[in-house]
Amino acid sequence: MPGYSPVNHKMLQVPVGPGQEVYSKRGAMLAYTGAVRFAPTTTAGGGIGGAIRTTMAGESTPLMHVTGQGSVMLGHHGLHVEVVDLQGDTLYVEAERLLVYDASLQSGTMFLGEQGGLSGVIRGQMTGQGLFTTTLTGHGSCALLSHGGVVQLPVQPGRAIYVDPQAYVAHRGQIQNKLHTALGLRDLIGRGSGEGFQLELTGQGVVYVQASERKF
């Protein structure tokens, strides 16, 4: 069964068949061929517990379950689409930046406080990311949305990467992240450089960064 194939930078063709079902952002379907069904879902394969967690987390991006036999074209708001293939590792991504993912991937929600405790909570508030982030684990594909496309920056031990929270899209691998502040007197009086907060990513893995500071 072929995988996801980009039509262009902003449209993705996803094959659907028996054993190859996907979850997609609700309303992102642009066209389809074949006998494809779209069912709204709140559990997204995570079970009731997952649904409760998701609701509590305020990760309220609605999803739909795409089944049947055929091919679906997906796109959202003219944003760039980037396909990420997972081989047993975990991707951390904000729910609203997820266009589509294989149903074979396990999705979950991670409380930011689990990573960094109180500062994780503060980080979520400061960066407007919310307190929870979505995790995808297993073997399969998913597609990320970004404004202007993403670049991958490798994170290695001893080589930390600092990212503007608004330009951060996702990361994978064994990565710790915490909020890094470089606030000075100038920021307090409104004459800062606009770079007061960054996410500091350390460990081993890859971080996806978009070429824009715009959230959507």
Q: Which is nearer to another protein, 3 or 162 (CB)?
A: 162
Residues of span 121-160 touching another protein by CB under 8 A? 147-149, 151, 153, 159-160
Phi and psi for 137 in degrees, rounded to 5? -130, 145
Q: If binding is defined by CB under 8 A, does position 194 make contact with another protein?
A: yes
Q: Which is nearer to another protein, 21 or 96 (CB)?
A: 96
Q: How far is the CB of 193 from another protein (least distance, A)?
A: 4
Q: How far is the CB of 170 from another protein (least distance, A)?
A: 13
For 48-196, where are the E strands, in sequence order? 63-74, 80-93, 98-102, 106-111, 132-146, 150-155, 161-163, 168-181
Task: Report yes or no: 142 and 91 within 8 Å, Cβ to Cβ.
Answer: yes
* Beta-bridge partner residues of 39: 65
Q: How far apart are CA 38 and CA 82, in angstroms?
A: 22
Interface pick for another protein out of 15, 108, 113, 192 (rule CB under 8 A): 192
Q: How far is the CB of 167 from another protein (least distance, A)?
A: 4
Q: Which is nearer to another protein, 43 or 212 (CB)?
A: 212
Candidates 81, 34, 90; CA nearest to 204 is 90
Q: Which residues bind another protein (CB under 8 A)?
A: 80, 147-149, 151, 153, 159-164, 167, 182, 186, 191-195, 198, 207, 209-214
